[in-house]
A = this chain, B = another copy of it.
Amino acid sequence: MFFETVRSEGLAHQSYIVGAGGRAAVIDPRRDCGIYLRRAVAHGAVITHIFETHRNEDYVTGSAELARRTGATVYHGAATPFAFGSPARHGDRFQVGPLEIVALETPGHTDESLSFALYEPSVPGRPVMVFSGDALFAGSVGRVDLAGDDPVANAHRLHDSLHRVLLPLGDGTIVCPAHGSGSVCGPSISDLPFTTIGIERRSNPYLRLGREEFVERKAGERGYRAPYFREMERVNLVGSPAPPDPCTLRRLSPGDLDGMQVVDIRSPTAFAAGHVPGSINIWREGLPLFIGWTLDYDRPIALVDDFNQELHLAAAHFVRLGFDNLTGFLDGGFMAWLREARPVGRIETWTVQDLFSRLDGVTVLDVRDIANRKERGAIPGSMHVYAGEVAARIDEVPHDRPVAVHCDVGFKGSLAASLLAGRRENIRVANVLGGFAAWTAAGLPVERV
């Protein structure tokens, strides 16, 4: 038996390939799915089954593409009418070489959510693994505010899925969830690469709540919901088209950027001291989390970097979120813009000491996740708009005074500052270097909110 996890950073998406006896199954493949083919070849296996734990909302699933490339069958939950693949119902059994995989209906996160229990012949009677999708995470459970319009009903169903389906599998079963730490699909997921029923039963805070407490807490949680989720849900229902070839990104000249959505993937300081006017600053690791908040699917997208390093990695994030309108990148990097003496955008960078000394005359805009603000406190007098929502709520930010944007350390702050500087006229914007981390490291006053 072989088993490998394939992670997509940023999304904290976890997919799996598992097999034995020359056959393999893939659970929740991502769209750039060549990696499963290569791993199957390395293990001497062919992929015969593709299992989807649910219709994902935060990325384009690769099931349709992987099925096209392998001839494998895709299985999804029966409760949603997918335009491709086959429905699987509670108790359905699938043979993958000597392994047996059993579908378990575990609704709550979505109606059609499935888990998949894997049985291995040397271990009779109990599954050795369960692929738990977005039902059970390491240290957390799935959100119930994304599917349908009744979080309370969803929470009840999730409680049943956890306590009547998953926990009874036994403490010794290894749990392989669809997301790891950092995902938006569940609060405070721990960074264990995988876990067990036993570990979760003892340490997962949600599993120690009674039904009423659980429903109240889950139904009351409200996570952020990026605007692109709707597009993902649509695409994943019908099956995504083949991904674009990453080798064909175009090399753009400065003039080509006119009318494009320009994404500057450099660091906050690089952006601050000079950028293409109107460009949005999303640092590399932030791409999977923020392009879905800030870009549209229609206008072509161009990347700007300093040295155009590893752009295939940056481009993969666009592929995974379905932004096939990514067109190319500025050939020669930002210096190519400068050498033509084109207009240069700038935003100020302030240290926390700078900010502290000017606190009276400025609007402080905190763009952290609201949970961080609640947990760690805030800069006195600051207002809050989450970085992802700045684009939509830009008119709420007063522009009569300078705006000092801050986040945890400075990346999201620069994203927000770039949106303010690019879309709001006559505004003076600064990004606070080091963000709230530096503010507290410097011993400056914190306000509880």
Contacts and interface: CB of A to CB of B under 8 A. Distances in A.
B284 A273 contact: no
A338 B440 CA distance: 12
Interface stretch (A34-42, A221-229, A318-326, A392-400): A34-42
Interface in A379-414: 409-411
Contacts of A339: 409, 434-435, 437-438, 441
B340 A441 contact: yes
Contact of A341 (B270, B310, B333, B438): B438
Given A139-B122, A274-B433, A344-B433, A171 B193 contact: no
Interface in A246-267: 247-248, 250-251, 266-267
A201 interface: yes
Contacts of A275: 269
Given A269-B274, A410-B335, A441-B339, A123 B307 contact: no
A433 B439 CA distance: 31
A156 B84 CA distance: 58
Contact of A126 (B192, B202, B334, B349): B202
Contact of A273 (B170, B193, B248, B349): B349
A264 to B, nearest CB: 10
Interface residues of A, number: 93
Interface string A126-137: 101000000000
A203 interface: yes
A301 interface: no
A388 B120 CA distance: 31
Contacts of A297: none
Nearest to A436: B339
A125 B442 CA distance: 34
Interface in A191-208: 191-203
Interface string A5-26: 0000000000000001010000
Given A138-B122, A174-B174, A198-B173, A128 B192 contact: yes
A160 interface: no
Given A41-B247, A339-B435, A341-B442, A307 B267 contact: yes
19 contacts: A1-B191, A3-B193, A22-B331, A44-B308, A46-B250, A120-B190, A122-B138, A122-B139, A126-B203, A170-B198, A172-B197, A173-B199, A174-B174, A266-B267, A267-B333, A272-B274, A310-B310, A339-B434, A341-B353
Given A46-B250, A124-B203, A270-B273, 19 more contacts: A69-B247, A69-B248, A70-B248, A126-B199, A126-B202, A172-B200, A196-B198, A266-B306, A267-B334, A269-B272, A269-B273, A269-B274, A269-B306, A270-B306, A273-B273, A339-B409, A339-B437, A339-B441, A340-B441
